[in-house]
Amino acid sequence: MQAASAQSTAQAARQYDLTIYTQWVLADREGPDDLVEFIEQRFTPEFAVAFDAWDAEGRVSDGPFAMEEYVPAGEAEAAELGARADEKFDEALRNNQRGDDYSLLTVLFALVLFFAALSQNQRARWRRTVFVTLSGVLAIVGVIVLTTYPIKI
């Protein structure tokens, strides 16, 4: 949300600069020199730097907005906040996956208990052996998998 707010600020600043620049172009082409100077005094500091660089290079590029020097207010902050939001989102995805992994382990250990309980109700010895063995194997697999999970977040 902060990144979106900063991006909105940057877009508003860019729109303001574009509006003032449009008026400057019209005044430069048809207006008196004092009107051109009046409009130039209304440039934002960020746009004035880019405009001066564009003017100093002989106005050969596509305009002051295409200059590296033009960074509207809020754009750097928006980029920083956007990167921070991306990091937090990636962290949330990792933590979500960690929770899913532990939930899967809960199901695995529930199966251990289920097969252990099921083995007690079997009359045939080989069935009891199969269910107890299956329960033991699942328990060992669960403990091995559990030891690979992080203890701290």
Name the average pLDDT for the chain: 88
Q: How far apart are CA 7 and CA 45, in angstroms?
A: 18
Q: Which of the 8 DSSP states describes residue 60?
A: -
Which pLDDT value is given to residue 153? 59
Which tokens hold the place of 85?
């939001």
pLDDT of 141 higher than 90:
yes
Residues 6+ away with beta carbon under 8 Å from 9:
73, 74, 77, 78
Residue-wise pLDDT for 11-63, tens only, equals 888 899 999 999 998 988 887 888 988 998 999 989 999 999 998 888 888 88
The CA-atom distances, in angstroms, between 76 and each of 4, 7, 43 are 12, 9, 19
Residue-wise pLDDT for 98-115, tens only, equals 889 889 999 999 999 999
pLDDT grade for 118, boundaries at 50, 70 and 90: very high
Which tokens hold the place of 102?
């532990």
What ranges do the domains of the chain cover? 2-73, 95-148
Which pLDDT value is given to residue 110? 96
Which pLDDT value is given to residue 117? 93
Contact 44/73 with Cβ under 8 angstroms? yes
Helix axes of 2-30 and 75-120: crossing angle, nearest 10 degrees? 150
Which pLDDT value is given to residue 109? 94
